[in-house]
Amino acid sequence: MILPPATLGLLGGGQLGRFFVSAAHELGYRVVVLDPDPDSPAGRIADQHLAAAYDDPAALDHMAATCAAISTEFENVPAGSLAWLARSLPVRPGAEAVSICQNRCAEKAFLRRFGLPLAPYAEIRCAEDVQLADADLFPGILKVARFGYDGKGQVVVDNRAQAREAFVRFGFEPCVLEKKLELERELSVVLARDENGEVRCFAAAENLHRRGILDVSFVPHARAGEAAAAERLAVELAQRMDYVGVLAVEFFVVGKRIYINEMAPRPHNSGHYTLDACATSQFEQQVRALCGLPLGDPRRHSAAVMVNLLGDLWYGDGEEAAREPDWRKLLAVPNLKLHLYGKPDARPGRKMGHFTVLGSEAATAVETALAVHQSIG
Ligand code: ADP
Ligand code: MG
């Protein structure tokens, strides 16, 4: 067990990292954050911020020398950096799990190998693969295998010609071509797994997206059977990967079927409700799993609705200059918790903060949350 006041290392300094730093501080740990952005949200509140590249040898050396263990909040950290750090200290999740999650080809191959349910797809590594792809995959979505997020690096393609064109536009990067499904719902599950294989699973959230970016998440999900199926699949996935740390799994519901969409080797935007609605948050679980502490109780004490605050909100009706939204309207709502990430400049599509409305049932919390969101938008 790694006990406070040990120093923990975190690769990545975004808002997920910022919440990790807060959770670690609450338990009495110190944190060193590595992120090239000199103004990163987590770097600002960490005990030390190394503003260097994720493969900077001096920065990695410093982390190996000062930290008791390493975690990550960003799946695109070079797996080589994790592997190098793992030679001298615990790294959770490990390089192998992260390298599966950071590449859609590896991720889907892994799911297929264990017979886990996923949408029909084909790997596209050269233009010829588009010709060979099953006709049934159209209309489909071409997604770059690496570095896509928030709907970036993917495009809907109706036929082979469009798929070829998109593949060229993506610079011949390896891609997956996935069948476009008629989604009824999207769910996600966040869980923590420790070294002994103990798993604690947070309740499945239902997620609504807007323009490819998560907009609203709520719990509990109305269909208990579906939520239970998603939770079972997420646990199976974590066991199969021998995963240690916090894992997020996204799901598609199509008719009576449930498919695994993708996974992330870290806490997830859709798990932010756990900050305010659960006995233990996803970030505290990340600290606990990293340090070998007993995992916390993931039980939910309220229904909750989380609404993302994107930079768009700063530009009312087509205004040119950014203007701070009127936070008083949010702060006046009982049972509403506001979280802002301290990012200096609001840009459309950028995640600036979120709020969570707590309630005794999801339906009323959703109503309140949507009404409040409209009033400031
Ligand atoms: P990202 O890394 O950007 O989150 P995802 O693969 O999760 O990438 O896709 C983003 C969103 O696009 C999904 O949450 C879903 O709303 C939609 N989407 C992705 N793949 C499909 C698909 N095969 N069929 C229908 N919708 C999809
Ligand atoms: Mg996604």
% pLDDT > 70, the chain: 99
Q: How many domains does the chain have?
A: 3
Domain presence at residue 341: yes
Domain presence at residue 106: no
Domain presence at residue 275: yes
Residues 65, 170: one domain?
A: no
Q: Answer yes or no: is pLDDT of 218 > 90.
A: yes
Residues 219, 276: one domain?
A: yes
Residues 221, 149: one domain?
A: no
Residues 293, 215: one domain?
A: yes
Confidence of residue 288 (pLDDT cuts 50, 70, 90): very high
| CATH code where residue 343 lies | 3.30.470.20
Contact in structure between 308 and 228 (CB atoms under 8 Å)? no
Q: Answer yes or no: is pLDDT of 326 > 80.
A: yes
Alpha carbon of 133 to ligand 1 centroid (Å): 20
Of 286, 282, 376, the residue nearest 338 (C-alpha): 376
pLDDT at 7: 98
Q: Answer yes or no: is pLDDT of 13 > 80.
A: yes
Last residue of a domain, one of 179, 214, 230: 179
Confidence of residue 36 (pLDDT cuts 50, 70, 90): very high
Residues 40, 173: one domain?
A: no
Residues 70, 193: one domain?
A: no
Distances (CA, A) of 7 to 4, 20, 39, 62, 259: 8, 13, 21, 12, 39
Tokens describing residue 136: 């049934």
Q: Is 229 left (phi over 0), alpha (psi -120 to 50) or beta?
A: alpha
pLDDT at 197: 97
Last residue of a domain, one of 179, 196, 212: 179
Q: Answer yes or no: is pLDDT of 34 > 90.
A: yes
Ligand 1 closest atom vs CA 119: 23
* 16 assigned to a ligand binding site: no
Domain presence at residue 109: no
pLDDT at 193: 98
* 179 assigned to a ligand binding site: yes
Residue having the nearest C-alpha atom to atom 10 of ligand 1: 151
Q: What is the mean pLDDT of the segment spanning 14-39? A: 98
Q: How many Cβ atoms sit within 10 Å of the Cβ of residue 88?
A: 13
Residue having the nearest C-alpha atom to atom 12 of ligand 1: 212
Domain assignment of residue 31, given as a range: 7-91
pLDDT at 91: 97
* 149 assigned to a ligand binding site: yes
Residues 86, 233: one domain?
A: no
pLDDT at 316: 77
pLDDT at 364: 87
**Pairwise pLDDT comparison (75 vs 11), residue with the higher score:** 11
Q: Answer yes or no: is pLDDT of 317 > 80.
A: no
CA distance 343 to 41: 6
| CATH code where residue 80 lies | 3.40.50.20
pLDDT at 374: 85
Domain presence at residue 230: yes
Q: Answer yes or no: is pLDDT of 319 > 80.
A: no
Residues 372, 268: one domain?
A: yes
CA distance 156 to 21: 38
Alpha carbon of 73 to ligand 2 centroid (Å): 15
Of 269, 309, 311, 265, the residue nearest 286 (C-alpha): 265
Task: Using CB atoms within 10 Å of the CB of residue 114, give its burial: 0 to 12 exposed, 13 to 18 middle, 19+ buried.
Answer: exposed
pLDDT at 375: 86
Q: What is the mean pLDDT of the segment spanning 164-173? A: 96
Among 101, 143, 154, name the best residue to mutate to test ligand 1's pocket (greatest count of ligand atoms within 8 A of Cβ): 154
Residue having the nearest C-alpha atom to atom 27 of ligand 1: 180
Residues facing residue 305 across a β-bridge: 218, 357
CA distance 70 to 287: 10
What is the DSSP secondary-structure string of 277-338?
Answer: HBSS-HHHHHHHHHHTPPPPP--BSSEEEEEEEEGGGGSTTS-SS-----HHHHHTSTTEEE
pLDDT at 373: 86
Cβ of 236 less than 6 Å from ligand 1:
no
Contact in structure between 58 and 33 (CB atoms under 8 Å)? no
Task: Identify the nearest ligand to the CA of 104 by its number.
Answer: 1
Residues 6 or more apart in contact with residue 66 via CB below 8 angstroms? 7, 9, 32, 48
Question: Phi and psi dihedrals of 153, rounded to 5?
Answer: 75, 30
Residue having the nearest C-alpha atom to atom 9 of ligand 1: 151
Cβ of 120 less than 6 Å from ligand 1:
no
Indicate yes or no: pTM above 0.90: yes
Residues 149, 275: one domain?
A: no
List, for residues 271-281, the tens digit of each pLDDT value.
Answer: 999 999 999 99
% pLDDT > 90, the chain: 88
Last residue of a domain, one of 38, 73, 91: 91
Task: Identify the nearest ligand to the CA of 153 by its number.
Answer: 1
| CATH code where residue 140 lies | 3.30.1490.20
List, for residues 123-142, the tens digit of each pLDDT value.
Answer: 999 999 999 999 999 999 99
Residues 360, 217: one domain?
A: yes
Supply the mean pLDDT for the chain: 95
Q: What is the mean pLDDT of the segment spanning 247-269? A: 97
Question: Phi and psi dihedrals of 43, rounded to 5?
Answer: -60, -35
Lowest mean pLDDT among 141-145, 314-318, 350-354: 314-318
Alpha-carbon dihedral angle through residues 135, 138, 140, 144, given to the nearest 10 degrees: 40
Residues 86, 131: one domain?
A: no
CA distance 187 to 180: 17
Domain presence at residue 115: no
Contact in structure between 309 and 350 (CB atoms under 8 Å)? no
Confidence of residue 320 (pLDDT cuts 50, 70, 90): confident
Q: What is the mean pLDDT of the segment spanning 308-321? A: 86
Alpha carbon of 128 to ligand 1 centroid (Å): 24
Ligand 1 closest atom vs CA 209: 16
CA distance 276 to 356: 7
Residues 169, 190: one domain?
A: no
List, for residues 64-119, the tens digit of each pLDDT value.
Answer: 999 999 999 998 999 899 999 999 999 999 999 999 999 999 999 999 999 999 99
Domain presence at residue 38: yes
Q: What is the mean pLDDT of the segment spanning 331-341? A: 96
pLDDT at 253: 97
Domain presence at residue 302: yes
Cβ of 186 less than 6 Å from ligand 1:
yes
List, for residues 341-375, the tens digit of each pLDDT value.
Answer: 999 899 999 999 999 999 988 888 888 988 888 88
